[in-house]
Structure 1
Amino acid sequence: MKYSSILFAAALVFLAAGAAAAKVPAGLDRIEHIVVIYLENRSFDNLYALFPGADGPSARTRWAPQQDRTGKVYDLLPPVPDQRFPAALINAPFLIDQYVPQDAKTPDLVHRFYQNQLQINGGRNDRFAAWSDAGGLVMGFYDGRTTKLWAYAKKYTLADHFFQGAFGGSFLNHFWLVCACTPKYDDAPEAIRAKLDDQGQLISDGAITPDGFAVNTIQSRFQPHAASVTDEARLLPPVDLPTIGDSLSDKGISWAWYSGGWDDALAGKPAPSFQFHHQPFAYFSRYGDGSDERRLHLKDEAELYAAIAANRLPAVSFYKPLGIENQHPGYANITNGDNRAADLIDKIMQSRSWKSTLVIVTYDENGGFWDHVPPPKGDRWGPGTRVPALFISPFARKGYVDHTPYDTTSILKLIELRFKLKPLGSRDARAKAPLGALMLESK
């Protein structure tokens, strides 16, 4: 896994050149509101393996059994560190529901930058168990047919080849949602840097790559961050890269990032499950402590519900539920997150804004869970493992599975097309907007 910074330099050249905004597809301007619900840590197969017409791991699908780090195929999956699961699990996908109900939590699974690449193993996806701390749990999936989001997927459009924008975990994939970028921390202390050998193989993990890119969880020097982090060197310095929020603001287009528990966190009393690294704009100088931009655009989820009720939905809304409602393994379950997302969708559908709104429900990353579809070739940063994406709107195709390859930057591309914005970098410039999920001219 030896990498160079050539791609990063190329992206800077691209930005300096100022790529032109693309032409708006016919009918896209009928969508006046885009709402992105960003849930947590589930691969596509983990939630939608059984979805009719989707690319799931059925008996007709070719997928490789899990193998250990030397390449030897496991006879049985490594044991799950949870006594609710049997010690002997066959080396194949299995139904989690038979051991743990959807309203209960499972253990968390490792989901980090280098490990995700090692698990993908060149597209074979056969070392998820080998590079996990959760044993065979990586191969577990749910029968999602009773969930509310499944019902929405059945009624509208489910994209079954949508991939997380970057390898690894939530921190980096939140950046790729809002800036299609990986932040730098050139003078990061050695204690938080990953170490690689001469062949580029991981020796010891860290938040920062050897050449200074922040790829794993690190909190912001701006508020809010955990009071327990008292060494400023272990916090990411302010980031000055362009974001989709900047582009929208500079054209006078309304937008906001809404987060469950935001106001309490700012007041110094964060909820136990509030995740500081799920607040990407809080890392950027433009949205720093006390700034007008922060006050205008970074808001509590209560303000999103109020905006919907008052028919004041911004042109672009990002919504991050509080931890216990985001479906993250370890501290959240499936049911609570399903209920929260569905409640918000229902409120939008009941509002006057619904007739001109597109809701996108997707996941930041796979959370360490296996998926059988190899990610497309990209760059140093990704794309990573496949995740679910739902498109819910009067303009979404009905009862449709979109097989087009997309990734997280496709959301940026859609926003850029709709509002005539220039791309932020090379990845969103060449990304496919999810137009295959929409019926724009026939409404």
Structure 2
Amino acid sequence: MNIRRSSVLGAFGGIMAFIFTGCSSSRHAQTASPDLSGLKGIEKVKHVVVIYMENHSFDNLYGEFPGANGHANASKESITQLDRDGKPYQYLPAIPRSSEFPTNIPNSFFNIDQYIPSDKETPDVTHRYYQERTQVNGGKMNYFVAYNATEGMTMGYYKTDLLPLYSIAKQYTLCDNLFHSAFGSSFLNHQWLIAAATPYFPNAPEYLRATLDSNGKMKTDGLLTPDGYAVNTVYSVNQPHPAGVKEADLVPNQTNPTIGDRLSGKNISWAWYAGGWDSAMAGKADETFQYHHQPFIYFANFADGTAAKKEHLKDEKDFLKAAQEGTLPAVSFVKPLGINNEHPGYSNVITGETHAIELINTVLNGPNGKDAVVILTYDENGGFWDHVAPPVIDKWGPGSRIPAIIISPFAKKGYIDHTQYETVSILAFIEKRWGLKPLNSRDAQANPLQGAFDFGD
């Protein structure tokens, strides 16, 4: 069954960024484990495949999806962006280093396709921990422009019905209320995907740390919080990492549990498959290979020289072979190479989504397709605006809304799932399927995607 398709900016050194810890009463936190009646029959699932794409908010890609909570539901307050003095812009600020965009775009969301087609790269958009906390503005969602290096670009969106993945989203289950679990960066959300936790770097150099004033406002940005938690892009002591990074700047091995540890503890097969992995390990990394998108290498159990690293960390080509042959492990995480992951700045939507369709088709057409669940989602919003205020759980997040598509013989067909989820809901689903102990309170309390399935009698 084939499915057919119908340079990071934002260092912000010295910028004052407000950190909001409060919220309106409508932004409710998760407080208890959900009812699991929707997962009756989950044992029919024999294979879970997580395809982890990059850097798009829900409104950026699916704001026009019929029946979803998209642009038409956005409030005037969330649409109207404010400058740092709290005043509405007359026009969106000019998008720097990109002559394709006019300088008089109204203060609202706008269609990117009319200026840059979706098979071309666009400027990257700021996606960092402190900046996103500020952009959300206590749930008002109206500081995305003011605290963004590409300014008006954050309000851009793509025509939903022109997306290669649109037909898949129409055919299966589209989740329109899933939030990335941690504010800001790709690095941090990859950590949360596998460990539901933020890495700790206790003896990090002071120059890596952000500084805050007495009111908790950011004085200078950094890769770490003042108390040593790694929130923006840092690299592991293990390979692969860029050759030029100073040893003192490399994150030491983490020892908290990962979903890989839980699976291995019950002898359940799993693997992390990364595009360009073998070349990177051979010291010949593709120019778009992202070292900080390989979360397991940050952990002692998968350190250089361990048997677990060799067994579980593999190249994407090994995934394609296993899917074709029907030898997929019970759980697969697939991380496409940079050029194929939709990340603005070094990839584009058409190339990335076309590659994702190849991955999906390979699973569905293979021997394991009959009992597989494919979850395609994004690491974070990439700094793009979304109108829905994220729930408040703790200081780490969740951040803004991102797309997720559940593709499976067991997924509800032609369905929009409005249930509140977050990235670690994927962990919760895996844990429920194989009876695994949660990693901590966040995945223990996350809804395990229970509204997306129909397992039949």
Q: Distance in 2 between matches of 1:189 and 1:178?
A: 26
Q: Distance in 2 between matches of 1:348 and 1:400?
A: 21
- Which has the larger displacement, 302-311 or 34-43? 302-311
Q: Distance in 2 between matches of 1:292 and 1:328?
A: 32
Report deviation, 1:26.
2.0
Q: Distance in 2 between matches of 1:147 and 1:126?
A: 26
Report deviation, 1:309.
1.4
Aligned to 2:3: none
The alpha-carbon distance between structure 1 residues 165 and 209, as it changes in their structure 2 partners (threshold 3 A), is: same
Counterpart residue identity of residue 316, structure 2: E
Secondary structure of the residue that 1:437 maps to in structure 2? coil
Q: Distance in 1 between matches of 2:286 and 2:335?
A: 14
Aligned to 2:90: 75
Q: Distance in 1 between matches of 2:324 and 2:169?
A: 24
**Contact 1:41–1:364 (Cα < 8 Å) also in 2:** yes
Report deviation, 1:61.
4.8
Equivalent of 2:371 in 352, 356, 360: 356
Equivalent of 2:236 in 220, 226, 238: 220
Deviations 1:27-71 (A, max 9, x none): 000010000000000000000011000000117755420001111
**Contact 1:47–1:143 (Cα < 8 Å) also in 2:** yes
Equivalent of 2:397 in 382, 390, 400: 382
Q: Distance in 2 between matches of 1:84 and 1:90?
A: 16
Give the length in aligned residue pairs: 424
Equivalent of 2:100 in 79, 84, 87: 84
Counterpart residue identity of residue 455, structure 2: L
- Asked whether 1:340 is paired with 2:366, we answer no
Counterpart residue identity of residue 285, structure 1: A
Deviations 1:140-179 (A, max 9, x none): 0000212231110000000000000100010100010000
Aligned to 1:130: 146
- Asked whether 1:112 is paired with 2:140, we answer no
Aligned to 1:373: 388
Gaps of 5+ in 1: 4-18
Report deviation, 1:2.
8.1
Report deviation, 1:335.
0.7
Aligned to 1:312: 327
Aligned to 2:202: 186
- Asked whether 1:284 is paired with 2:284, we answer no
Secondary structure of the residue that 1:265 maps to in structure 2? helix
Aligned to 1:197: 213
The alpha-carbon distance between structure 1 residues 2 and 398, as it changes in their structure 2 partners (threshold 3 A), is: closer
Q: Distance in 2 between matches of 1:24 and 1:51?
A: 24
TM-score, normalised on structure 1?
0.94
**Contact 2:278–2:315 (Cα < 8 Å) also in 1:** yes
- Asked whether 1:143 is paired with 2:143, we answer no
**Contact 1:2–1:199 (Cα < 8 Å) also in 2:** no
- Asked whether 1:403 is paired with 2:421, we answer no
Aligned to 2:53: 39
TM-score, normalised on structure 2?
0.91
Secondary structure of the residue that 1:258 maps to in structure 2? strand
Counterpart residue identity of residue 329, structure 2: P
Aligned to 2:170: 154
**Contact 1:57–1:63 (Cα < 8 Å) also in 2:** no
Percent identity (aligned): 52
Q: Distance in 1 between matches of 2:71 and 2:138?
A: 19
Q: Distance in 1 between matches of 2:175 and 2:182?
A: 18
**Contact 1:170–1:364 (Cα < 8 Å) also in 2:** yes
Deviations 1:106-164 (A, max 9, x none): 00111000000100000000000000000111000000212231110000000000000
Q: Distance in 2 between matches of 1:316 and 1:222?
A: 23
Counterpart residue identity of residue 364, structure 2: M
Report deviation, 1:414.
0.2
Deviations 1:371-428 (A, max 9, x none): 0000011101000000000000000000000000100010000000000001000100
Q: Distance in 2 between matches of 1:154 and 1:46?
A: 17
